Structure 1
């Protein structure tokens, strides 16, 4: 991949990426890297950051104190769609933690459509539970139902509901549980820079209908633009509910369009690579790459299976899904006790076949013991 890359083109590429995308695909012109290895300074910074994020010995850094369990509570988990492995993984963590703290949990599936999510949250409010989880959807799309919950004094805890972790006043969330989206996006881009030695042609997969996801993909594009030898070939907007039907077709088109220029991919959710695998396989692409694919969330078991077996995914930046389910219940317990949110944000991590040791999930160690001790279990 030789040739010159004028600075003006690089600036235009970065500005285009940050502008976001609308429904459909946004294809960006390919250009060639500049300088030895593309971007020596950015490479060095990326290698250091990725090495740190790949460490496996991550101790518990969350709360060690808090209120004892408040008995007899019922939580409703409203899922954006249970076909989203991250949403489903957190739901499983909530159920697991509920058995420990002694609460009841009900899951209502919004099935991935605005009408379905609105109906699911409306049903949740009508049940008058102790608390409601907004699992992976924008509260702005359910403003009437959120207002009803607030009027009924039902605490709301989000998971990937807004862009930042922690409490929110607009929308009114006791807290939002997520890793830091800037850190996740940044390490995903740095992984590409480090893995490619500063020379890459990248396809980015996102869902621009979800503000959280769109913000993440904008940040990833910004991070990639830090390296002059990395080209953003295409920014593919595929809504998550449509991923299974649209991704294989889009991947086939991308392979035909870019061929060997497509060396790496980043997706805001691992599920895109599950849906892309048949198209890669049909085109005769090796499971071990290229393209080398990294998911900037969510680190569900199927992603680990692809990574560990070398089947069309090389890495993931996993959400600690089970831990986050436990954290959600701990945050509710703080709300019921009149205490502030914990403020805990799980650390960013990169999982590969080389550091996962065959595991199918990633969570920092010690969280179960810590929460049991806090709750008095």
Structure 2
């Protein structure tokens, strides 16, 4: 069951965090199982992690600065509206195409929410399936170009895989807004970005392992490195884990989205990790919900209910699994806020105004464990903050 948290309670958490506001600088951990043994536990760092997780479980957290550079000292307790306060009036009669990474994933949920918002503004909106592959992305971009929309929103589609499609749309003065799409390799860039805070959520996974273990976590990242935003999330998470001097990164085991959606493949990968690390394996961190059910099934079959699995994006199935005690924890940036932010970016660009820098969108995140995960997986995000009302009031007030 979700809760509404008053400013007084959040101020208490903010004060507690202020006590542990130490600066953090650490090198990235090794990917190899043969790395040096962990050093002595850093009690101050472990306490800082524990206080952040407690605050994030009872409320929300946000961060200051660039997402790729997150460290524990940059994470703050959310107390008041952190998003934009001024915008433009959304242009009437716009036509929107929304290309999602793959139907059936959390990408689709974001895309459908953006389409719903667009419809409420009197726009037309169509969601296109990127099918989870570069070829599928390119086909979806070709469809969008033929449709000649006012603008295109993409969800979790890397810029470097669709540079030609982006350039083609931009030649026709069709702006492209990328949600959860970190640039890589100098490709033709999107006109605007909106982060779904995937790096932030991944960092909170590592922070939870540090806090839960008392600073001695032994971790495997079972990760998808096929997307730049997930690579960024991995590197930031490794850095945060490396700040835990008594923790150990056992391995980064790479897998693709296609593998994640194959139950047999995921169970085989999980079994191989159990066989390789035995009792040393304590935490498995994953980049999204796909495949987690198969990981849990393999752990149960091996009698390893001591291994704690974490994921992010707060998908309903995963939250229900957390509530049931099968999955240890999950993490979610406020769902729907990113869709409103994407529509806001479209409005700014369509009006000839500059896009809002990604760092100023202010989307917070929260922590779900057995104490607060909803049994049916349904979260009333507006009970945390009424972001929809904030955006709608901002648009209504614009001239």
**8 Å CA contact 2:101, 2:129 repeated in 1:** yes
Of residues 363-372 and 192-201 in structure 1, the stretch that sits farther from structure 2 once superposed is 363-372
After superposition, the Cα gap between the structure-2 partners of 1:269 and 1:182, relative to the gap in structure 1 and judged at 3 Å, is closer
After superposition, the Cα gap between the structure-2 partners of 1:212 and 1:279, relative to the gap in structure 1 and judged at 3 Å, is same
Q: Which residue of 2 aligns with 1:54?
A: 57
Deviations 1:290-324 (A, max 9, x none): 212222x322111211111111x222221333221
1:360 maps to 2:378: yes
Query: How far apart, in 2, do the equivalents of 1:193 and 1:163 lie?
Result: 30
RMSD: 2.5
Shift of 1:136: 0.6
- The size of the alignment, in residue pairs, is 345
**8 Å CA contact 2:197, 2:333 repeated in 1:** no
Which runs of 5 or more structure 1 residues have no equivalent in the other structure?
1-12, 18-26
Query: How far apart, in 2, do the equivalents of 1:81 and 1:235 lie?
Result: 24
Scaled by the length of structure 2, the TM-score of the pair is 0.79
Note the 1:65-144 alignment, pairs <5 A: 65-84=86-105, 86-144=106-164
**8 Å CA contact 1:72, 1:102 repeated in 2:** yes
Deviations 1:321-370 (A, max 9, x none): 32211221122112222233343130232222323454523634211112
Deviations 1:53-109 (A, max 9, x none): 22326554323432223111111111111233x212211211221232121111111
Note the 1:125-164 alignment, pairs <5 A: 125-162=145-182
Shift of 1:255: 1.3
After superposition, the Cα gap between the structure-2 partners of 1:140 and 1:307, relative to the gap in structure 1 and judged at 3 Å, is same
**8 Å CA contact 2:220, 2:251 repeated in 1:** yes
Of the three residues 304, 309, 318, the one matched with 1:293 is 309
Deviations 1:211-260 (A, max 9, x none): 21112112211211112221112211111122122322100111122222
Q: Which residue of 2 aligns with 1:282?
A: 301
Shift of 1:186: 3.1
1:273 maps to 2:278: no
Of residues 301-310 and 270-279 in structure 1, the stretch that sits farther from structure 2 once superposed is 270-279
Query: How far apart, in 2, do the equivalents of 1:220 and 1:256 lie?
Result: 25
Scaled by the length of structure 1, the TM-score of the pair is 0.84
Note the 1:317-328 alignment, pairs <5 A: 317-328=331-342
Q: Which residue of 2 aligns with 1:305?
A: 320
**8 Å CA contact 1:320, 1:346 repeated in 2:** yes
Q: Which residue of 2 aligns with 1:347?
A: 364
Q: Which residue of 2 aligns with 1:28?
A: 33
**8 Å CA contact 1:28, 1:233 repeated in 2:** yes
Which runs of 5 or more structure 2 residues have no equivalent in the other structure?
1-26, 61-77
SS in 2 for 1:334: helix
Query: How far apart, in 2, do the equivalents of 1:371 and 1:62 lie?
Result: 9
